[in-house]
Chains A and B, each alone.
Chain A
Amino acid sequence: MLTERELQISPIVLESVQHNTKTLTTLHNLTASLFGVGAGILGLESYPGFIFYLVFSLLTSALVYAFRVRPAIIKNSISGGKAGAGIERYFMGSMELWTGGLFEGLSGFVLTWTLFYGLVRA
């Protein structure tokens, strides 16, 4: 956790954090709908469908972490930034990166899942 003094020296700009969160939410919303299309075409029912959604949205978060957040943290620590505190520098906390999009995307997932399941299977 950052101390108050370190936060003053290298501040975290709230607008940027909000922008990050918004981008992540948009990504999760969009991919959730696409996962619904996938689950519907595969014809998954009940638990497998929800597990499919869970696995793939966690995978999305993991890809964001691996390709965007992690390199930035490494770059920051190489260039001598002392306040390299991990995910807290980019989001409101690590929970937001991993589970933030799960519930927002769920309704979109259910909609497209039902639609494509109905179109393909029923």
Chain B
Amino acid sequence: MAQVPVQTIHRDPQLFYWILIPITVVMILTGVLRHYATVLMATAPKKQELPAIKEQRSLLRGVNLRANANVISAPSFQARKDYLVAAYESGAFLKEPDKKGQAAPNPMTDPAAMEGMMGMMKGNMAMIVPQTLIMGWINAFFSGFVIIRLPFPLTIKFKSMLQAGVATKDMDPQWMSSISWYVLCIFGLQSVFNYLLGSDNAASQMQQQMGQMGPGAGAQMFGPGVDPDKQFQAEIENLNVLAHHYTLEGVEDRLLQTVVV
């Protein structure tokens, strides 16, 4: 089998100084800027009314009791359970006790929900605006340059992706144009940001997209449109089926076992 000769393209070394390095530096600085913009734009959580806080905290109290049930003795667990179940059932913790049993209000009309959507929008803007700007900048100044070669072979399908803006039929798909270098930077700079800004930074676009898929459980729990009375009923059920085993049961025997005479 004939060996395919390796394509060599003679490039001006100035390409590195005026294309490759500027794009990389701008990508890193944009990430840092995005991180600090996100930090500065983050609004402090709005103060809530006392009954609303009471409703949320008492539900959390049930959850915590369930999670840590085994560290308290059986009588005290029973006492806490009885109190919580009775209060949940009567709706004593509800924000509006007289509205028990009614349907939840429409989330679109709730002003608190709009607040949350604004925050999400801000996060999206912080991601989209720089991306568009840099994409336009690269297109305007650097389109049509072949700047670097990937060190591993690729199939011909990658040609249109890697050589965007370079219309050459016979060039090896390993060669990359400046836009492809930008795309590679988006994916690869994660570790640089981790190093520069700490591991829960807001710089990376990858992480932003991940975050959108699964927002925290806390937001879901007290989100608009969820009927708190239903949550209380579910919590009653959870507490009732919990099997309680006290951790300190038989602790004397376990201690004596470890004593070596």
Q: Which residues of A contact B (CB under 8 A)?
A: 5, 8-9, 22, 25-26, 29-30, 32-33, 39-40, 43-47, 49-50, 80, 104-105, 107-108, 110-115, 117-119, 122
List the B side residues contacting A49 at CB < 8 Å: 151-152
List the B side residues contacting A80 at CB < 8 Å: 258
Q: Are A113 and B151 in contact (CB under 8 A)?
A: yes
Whether a CB of chain A sits under 8 angstroms from the CB of B56 is no
List the B side residues contacting A29 at CB < 8 Å: 190-191, 194-195
Q: How far is the CA of A115 from the CA of B27 in the complex (A)?
A: 14
List the B side residues contacting A111 at CB < 8 Å: 184-185, 187-189
Q: Are A9 and B191 in contact (CB under 8 A)?
A: no
Q: List 11 A-B contacts (CB under 8 A).
A: A5-B245, A22-B199, A26-B195, A26-B199, A33-B192, A43-B151, A108-B188, A110-B187, A111-B185, A114-B184, A119-B16
**Which chain B residue shows the least CB distance to A117?**
B151
Query: Beyond A108-B188, A111-B185, is A50–B152 a contact (Cβ under 8 Å)?
Result: yes
Query: Beyond A22-B199, A119-B16, is A108–B191 a contact (Cβ under 8 Å)?
Result: yes
A31 CB to nearest B CB, Å? 9
Query: Beyond A9-B247, A29-B194, A30-B194, is A107–B187 a contact (Cβ under 8 Å)?
Result: yes
**Which chain A residue shows the least CB distance to B247?**
A8
List the A side residues contacting B16 at CB < 8 Å: 118-119
Q: Are B258 and A115 in contact (CB under 8 A)?
A: no
Q: Which of B147, B148, B151, B188 contacts A45 (CB 8 A)?
A: B151
**Which chain A residue shows the least CB distance to B189?**
A111
Whether a CB of chain A sits under 8 angstroms from the CB of B24 is yes
Q: Are A122 and B190 in contact (CB under 8 A)?
A: no
Q: Which of B151, B185, B191 contacts A105 (CB 8 A)?
A: B191
Q: Are A8 and B245 in contact (CB under 8 A)?
A: yes
Q: Are B151 and A44 in contact (CB under 8 A)?
A: yes
Q: How far is the CA of A29 from the CA of B245 in the complex (A)?
A: 42
Q: How far is the CA of A122 from the CA of B70 in the complex (A)?
A: 64
List the A side residues contacting B150 at CB < 8 Å: 114
The 6 closest A-B pairs by CB, nearest first: A111-B188, A29-B191, A108-B191, A118-B148, A46-B152, A107-B187
Q: Are B70 and A8 in contact (CB under 8 A)?
A: yes
Q: Are B191 and A33 in contact (CB under 8 A)?
A: yes
Q: How far is the CA of A115 from the CA of B188 in the complex (A)?
A: 11
List the B side residues contacting A46 at CB < 8 Å: 151-153
Whether a CB of chain A sits under 8 angstroms from the CB of B157 is no
Q: How far is the CA of A85 from the CA of B152 in the complex (A)?
A: 42
Q: Are B24 and A30 in contact (CB under 8 A)?
A: no
**Which chain A residue shows the least CB distance to B154?**
A46
**Which chain A residue shows the least CB distance to B193?**
A29
**Beyond known contacts A5-B245, A114-B148: 16 more, CB 8 A cutoff:** A8-B70, A8-B247, A9-B254, A25-B199, A29-B191, A30-B195, A32-B191, A46-B151, A46-B152, A46-B153, A49-B151, A107-B188, A108-B188, A117-B151, A119-B16, A122-B148
Whether a CB of chain A sits under 8 angstroms from the CB of B11 is yes
A38 CB to nearest B CB, Å? 12
A8 CB to nearest B CB, Å? 5
Q: How far is the CA of A112 from the CA of B199 in the complex (A)?
A: 20
B234 CB to nearest A CB, Å? 23
List the B side residues contacting A9 at CB < 8 Å: 247, 254
Per-position 1/0 for B212-229, Cβ under 8 A of A: 000000000000000000
List the B side residues contacting A25 at CB < 8 Å: 194, 199
